[in-house]
Structure 1
């Protein structure tokens, strides 16, 4: 105390900066705390397991699924854990969201985002088996809301990416992608899909796309469930040769950029954030299967275009932009709200940026698990001729 002094040091370029995840949740309250209080549950003594604590969030709900299959039982389960030191390792997540409408419509999707110790590797996975009806309106945006066709098919997806850290926050790697759709048929058997869409590739009874990808990721977020201020960018170049089983050789490019800006840095445990999301998705060849063409709501996590019917606009290129404001209502973080607006444009009979389709909405947030910062999101979105509610564990982006 009597002899103050200063020390200066360098932070080498190849040293990973400390994780900016907020770990102190003592002043926050979640629905688990509320349940313990209501039912007077006294937790037993917790044994600390450094770096291995798993946070589970489970939400069984009834909601509608895309494509006119009516309401369905949806159970969303998210598991999150640190596979390395919290100061230098991001939160790994796995999400399992099966749905069933008590009939012939069901889906089994499993998605994972795994960060190995010290963020040296990022392993991404997306596996789905879906019996998945959806409406389609052909290419572009010239058809009216009523001029739609219900298209039924079965769908198997298997995506796996492995990316290595090149320098702090920047990753590069390769991936394998399989999209296999079979028993493709309009509900109205009198409709010929190729004639209706004016597109002959992938409009038969089955469609196979199997290929490799080059992936680049820049990610300063520490939690993908509920991102804190930071930035994310992802570039995916995919090629699907007939050599790997594709019906036709085709290529695509997907560029995704997100930015999160804190509006009250002096209170890091309170949500007050502006979030921006934009992506450009385009195919580079003319023989891309119809159901693999860029389409609203078909981003990798099916979270875009809230307030617009999934698959409403489809083309060889799609540009998307969304802005959302997130704010806590209660000081303990239990209740919050969001307001959002988005716009998209697809290439069809006209150029890519010739026709903009907007949507807007708002939502309520309930803190489900403060350990993983997982919220229950209840959103209402609307656009011209369409409106919907959506329920999610975690933020839309």
Structure 2
């Protein structure tokens, strides 16, 4: 898992980044200073095995760089040794003078991944679930396809750093299939099926379609690798049946990030903190749409655990990271040390007569993670950075993470 091949290839490809020549006159919403890094992806994690393909990154300005923030896009086109296809594109686009922000998350997965049941106490190994007596919790393998289209359009409020806007979010899970392994009792239900049946959802295909109300405060100097100030995002999502959702529901997302500079002369020396909450406000969500570790927009949360390791009706997550340069005067190489923690609630159940309602609540248990990483800045002006982290969680969980740009 600790291959240095991605770094060798990345240094070679850094030379093909395309930079458009600056001009003295800027036209609003035209592309300036465009750069593209076609980063090959050779990595591994427990959920996907070895991954091969491309992880391209692009950055540009949609107006005068003096008064317009840098836009960015990160993509993936990957095939894995577990016969998975992963295609995705995530972007933050700032139009001229930052008057408009476009926030997008598009994905198509043909994939597989283990699930472990709901709550922070779900064990590694499969066993009968004491909170749901006819089903398993612990590791259970799943195949599924995911089509996702999330896009939000936000307008700036006067000259303030605040934005308001609307979005549309669509998730279609299909061909969902659980499969039995040695030691699994076929008379007990999988967590996914037991939950969906209890809430009235299909076990093989379901749709979540809704509109979002978004409030954003954007103070960061460079979104992909901030050195100072802060960012906040409040999103209220309404998923009505008349827009295509299998059941009506609503959720609330709270996301706050702050960057404390430790040295005015070396702004790369800083403490970054991230707090996030994702809550089910009303109705029911299908199992795979419940808040889960590693399923944030850029998939950066929960280092130390595989994506989907913890899941619940509500989630609270926190992380702190010290980022520092490794060279006295240059910023090419950097390092990081980080800690994180997550807590999840289970699901209230009413279909087992005589069985106590012992579902897990937020903060009954917190799962910590910690680790360290290396940073290689391949474009100082755009702060385009290759990040490699190794993280540890509880009970033998760990992982190697290779990405483009900072985790948050």
TM-score range normalised by the length of the shorter chain? 0.7 to 0.9
Correspondences of 1:130-279 after superposition (within 5 Å): 130-147=109-126, 148-167=139-158, 168-188=160-180, 190=186, 192-193=189-190, 197-200=194-197, 201=199, 202=201, 204-268=203-267, 271-279=268-276
- 1:3-27 Cα distance to aligned partner (Å, 9 max, x none): xxxxxxxxxxxxxxxxxxxxxxxxx
Structure 1: runs of 5+ lacking an equivalent? 1-29
8 Å CA contact 1:31, 1:366 repeated in 2: no
Q: TM-score, normalised by structure 2?
A: 0.83
Deviates more, 1:101-110 or 1:355-364: 101-110
- 1:46-87 Cα distance to aligned partner (Å, 9 max, x none): 8434561112223213112553x4211042111101111112
8 Å CA contact 2:120, 2:366 repeated in 1: no
The change in CA–CA distance for 1:196 and 1:183 in structure 2 (over 3 A counts) is: closer
Q: TM-score, normalised by structure 1?
A: 0.85
Correspondences of 1:1-397 after superposition (within 5 Å): 47-49=21-23, 52-65=32-45, 67=47, 69-101=48-80, 104-147=83-126, 148-167=139-158, 168-188=160-180, 190=186, 192-193=189-190, 197-200=194-197, 201=199, 202=201, 204-268=203-267, 271-330=268-327, 331-348=329-346, 349-384=359-394, 385-397=396-408
CA distance in 2, matches of 1:340, 1:380: 10
3-state SS in 2 of match to 1:53? strand
3-state SS in 2 of match to 1:81? strand
The change in CA–CA distance for 1:305 and 1:316 in structure 2 (over 3 A counts) is: same
CA distance in 2, matches of 1:93, 1:224: 8
CA distance in 2, matches of 1:165, 1:227: 20
Aligned to 2:133: none
8 Å CA contact 1:363, 1:379 repeated in 2: yes
CA distance in 2, matches of 1:36, 1:198: 47
Deviates more, 1:188-197 or 1:320-329: 188-197
The change in CA–CA distance for 1:188 and 1:224 in structure 2 (over 3 A counts) is: same
Query: 1 or 2 for the larger relative contact order (CA 8 Å, sep ≥6)?
Result: 1
The change in CA–CA distance for 1:165 and 1:79 in structure 2 (over 3 A counts) is: same
8 Å CA contact 1:32, 1:368 repeated in 2: no
CA distance in 2, matches of 1:107, 1:265: 41
Deviation at 1:102, TM superposition (A): 5.8
3-state SS in 2 of match to 1:177? strand
Deviates more, 1:222-231 or 1:352-361: 222-231
CA distance in 1, matches of 2:192, 2:52: 35
**Matched residues, number:** 360
The change in CA–CA distance for 1:231 and 1:195 in structure 2 (over 3 A counts) is: closer
CA distance in 1, matches of 2:141, 2:86: 17
Structure 2: runs of 5+ lacking an equivalent? 1-6, 27-31, 127-138, 347-358
CA distance in 2, matches of 1:352, 1:267: 39
3-state SS in 2 of match to 1:332? coil
RMSD over aligned CA atoms reads 2.5
The change in CA–CA distance for 1:117 and 1:135 in structure 2 (over 3 A counts) is: same
Aligned to 1:3: none
CA distance in 2, matches of 1:196, 1:293: 14
CA distance in 1, matches of 2:20, 2:216: 37
CA distance in 2, matches of 1:365, 1:262: 17
The change in CA–CA distance for 1:194 and 1:48 in structure 2 (over 3 A counts) is: closer
CA distance in 1, matches of 2:9, 2:367: 40
CA distance in 1, matches of 2:249, 2:336: 39
CA distance in 2, matches of 1:229, 1:92: 18
The change in CA–CA distance for 1:205 and 1:259 in structure 2 (over 3 A counts) is: same
